[in-house]
Amino acid sequence: MSGGNTNVIMAKLTARIFPVVPDFYRMIVDHCDLVCRAMDVFVEFMETGDQEKGDQVRAMEKEGDDLKSRQMETLSRAFATPLDREDIYRAIMAIDEILNYAKTTVREMEDLAIQPDQHMVEIVRLLRDGAYALKAGYAKLGTRPKEADTDAIAARKAERSVEKVYRAALVELFHVNSPFDALGQAGDAALNTILPGILNDYHLHVMAILKRREVYRHLSNTADRVENAGSILHDIIVQVA
């Protein structure tokens, strides 16, 4: 048997006995990186209302689905993992959920014909901060896990900051002037003339409030996904640090 054939056989035997462990740390960070890039575009969408930016977010969510599928396949085939399999699964799914919510927010705004406002811009900037904190934290897991908890805390803090903006947005939303305010300025003789128009305006007024509130709620739920990914990061740190 030639030396070359012997080396090939030995390499195959070694691979069976000591299979290469996929770099799951890198995989998770790659997913975080995609989320961060998507959140950058999401911020641009909210700042400009540019539909092309919204389309980019949707395309990046599809990219995330493809990445998740490949990661799940790698996880299912891996002989060994550097972390508990369940934790790897939870981390990947939680990070991907942030992308899902960003995409569905864009779709919801399109369906409801809602233009971004300053509250939405502020919330999405906070979500982006949380995504970058997650990326920084997961990047430290393989080498400096204890240091990663600061980033996990920052990710969870982003959710609390979003909730403050969310409540302020609702307060402003439900305290705008009502079309019925015009009734108090009209004389009795004018009521029959202006009332039908006011009723129609009130209907549009209420629908606009409900639509915008729905988008705010969806963004708040996105922040919950960021917090969840941060909590999973903290759970992993407790186990490996």
146 CB-contact burial (10 Å; exposed 0-12 / middle 13-18 / buried 19+): exposed
Cβ count within 10 A of residue 222: 26
Predicted confidence band of residue 13 (pLDDT cuts 50, 70, 90) = very low
- pLDDT on residue 178: 53
Contact 36, 129 (CB under 8 A): no
Residue 12 has pLDDT above 80, yes or no: no
Chain segment 24-48, per-residue pLDDT in tens: 999 999 999 999 999 999 999 999 9
Total count of domains within the chain: 1
Looking at residues 135-164, what average pLDDT do you find?
96
DSSP code of 3? Answer: H
Tokens of 114: 């809602």
Chain segment 172-190, per-residue pLDDT in tens: 988 755 544 544 554 455 5
- pLDDT on residue 11: 44
- pLDDT on residue 182: 47
Measured between alpha carbons, how far is 66 from 128 in angstroms, rounded to an integer?
22
* Average pLDDT of the chain to the nearest whole number: 86
Tell me which H or E stretch contains 77: helix 51-77
- pLDDT on residue 59: 97
- pLDDT on residue 201: 58
* Residue 199's CATH number: 1.20.58.220
The answer for residues whose C-beta is within 8 angstroms of residue 13's C-beta and 6 or more apart is none
Chain segment 44-84, per-residue pLDDT in tens: 999 999 999 999 999 999 999 999 999 999 999 998 888 99
Residue 14 has pLDDT above 90, yes or no: no
Range of the domain at 139: 3-240
- pLDDT on residue 21: 73
In one-letter notation, the amino acid at residue 80 is A
Measured between alpha carbons, how far is 236 from 213 in angstroms, rounded to an integer?
35
Angle at Cα 109 formed by Cα 106 and Cα 112, nearest 5°? 150
Tokens of 230: 């941060």
Residue 17 has pLDDT above 60, yes or no: no
